[in-house]
């Protein structure tokens, strides 16, 4: 099996796989130790070596579950890249959080990183993202915190998630940001047109993409019948699965996004890897866009 070629997230930045494996549902998958090992090792075998986490995934339990595998396989750390996110505090009276809120303060970022490192069983993160734009974010404080984390060796690179272009530009004026992880798919194409992907192209960085299959809705005939039919027909023509085709549609964009595949199925990892080898021509790409939007471009 041919493994995927690695890509650089930004000039001078880390080398990631062209698609990432997402762990936000790991706690719900109910994997045994051997099943988790099989899933992670299948991803690595395909060349999917970037694993996307966040501290609060699975009620703050997913990182520790993945960490069980990594602690049992410490020699694999040099072959994988770990991404995590922090800054969301859900309603949790046991933690003293009486209302869901965001926290981009220095104290919280530092504490969150230490917790993620302990749970994951590693001494550094390849990439740390601020999970959501915080209206109370102080860009100078965050920049100083990032600098401290980099100097300590705990985090090698930084970015954000779900930031608008202006929010990204503000923080990027104070510290180097290597990605903006945003939602994008054939059913959520806003980043292609609202300046998000344009900004990544301008900065020479790759966006990361969550929910690239719209949470599975792209594959359901009742969600968007016209798009579903177009995906089915074109996928049959190209001898790929509809999921591979939908991911290849994203990968075709010149911003070179990195989709995150978040399914427990080994076949979903195979489909994500196959998408990296499928180069859509312009007519196929625009045909899918027209099906998604219900009309051809003007």
Q: Residues with catalytic annotation?
A: 57
Euclidean distance between the first and the last CA atom of the chain, given in angstroms as a whole number: 43
**Whether 128 contacts 86, CB under 8 Å:** yes
**Whether 19 contacts 273, CB under 8 Å:** yes
Which one-letter DSSP state was computed for residue 207? P
E strand or H helix at 3, and its extent? none
Neighbours of 229 (CB within 10 A): 12
Quote the tokens at residue 218.
Answer: 């792209």
Task: Tally the residues of the chain.
Answer: 298
Beta-strand runs (E) in 53-185: 81-86, 88-89, 101-102, 127-130, 158-161, 180-183
Query: How remote is the C-alpha of 42 from its chain's centroid?
Result: 18
Neighbours of 235 (CB within 10 A): 18
CA distances from 194 to 47, 134, 144, 145, 170 (A): 32, 20, 29, 30, 17
């Amino acid at each position: 099996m041919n493994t995927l070629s690695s890509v650089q997230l930004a000039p001078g930045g880390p080398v990631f796989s062209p698609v990432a494996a997402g762990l936000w549902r790991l706690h719900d998958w109910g994997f045994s130790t051997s099943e988790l090992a099989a899933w992670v090792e299948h991803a690595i075998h395909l060349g999917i070596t970037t694993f996307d986490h966040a501290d609060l995934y699975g009620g703050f339990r997913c990182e520790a579950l993945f960490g069980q595998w990594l602690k049992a396989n410490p020699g694999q750390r040099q072959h994988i890249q770990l991404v995590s996110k922090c800054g969301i505090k859900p309603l949790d009276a046991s933690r003293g959080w009486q209302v869901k809120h965001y926290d981009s303060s220095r104290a919280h970022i530092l504490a969150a990183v230490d917790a993620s490192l302990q749970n994951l069983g590693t001494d550094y993160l390849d990439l740390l993202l601020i999970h959501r734009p915080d209206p109370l974010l102080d860009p100078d404080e965050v920049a100083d915190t990032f600098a401290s984390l980099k100097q300590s060796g705990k985090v090698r690179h930084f970015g954000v998630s779900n930031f608008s272009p202006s929010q990204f530009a503000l923080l990027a004026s104070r510290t180097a940001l290597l990605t903006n992880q945003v939602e994008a798919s054939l059913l959520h194409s806003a980043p292609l047109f609202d300046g998000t992907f344009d900004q990544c192209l301008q900065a020479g960085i790759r966006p990361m993409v969550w929910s690239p299959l719209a949470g599975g809705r792209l594959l359901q005939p009742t969600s968007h019948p016209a798009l579903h039919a177009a995906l089915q027909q074109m996928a049959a023509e190209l001898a790929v699965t509809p999921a591979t085709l939908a991911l290849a549609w994203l990968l075709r964009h010149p911003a070179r996004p990195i989709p995150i595949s978040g399914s427990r199925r080994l076949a979903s990892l195979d489909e994500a890897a196959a998408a990296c080898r499928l180069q859509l021509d312009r007519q196929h790409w625009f045909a899918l866009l027209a099906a998604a939007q219900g009309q051809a471009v003007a």
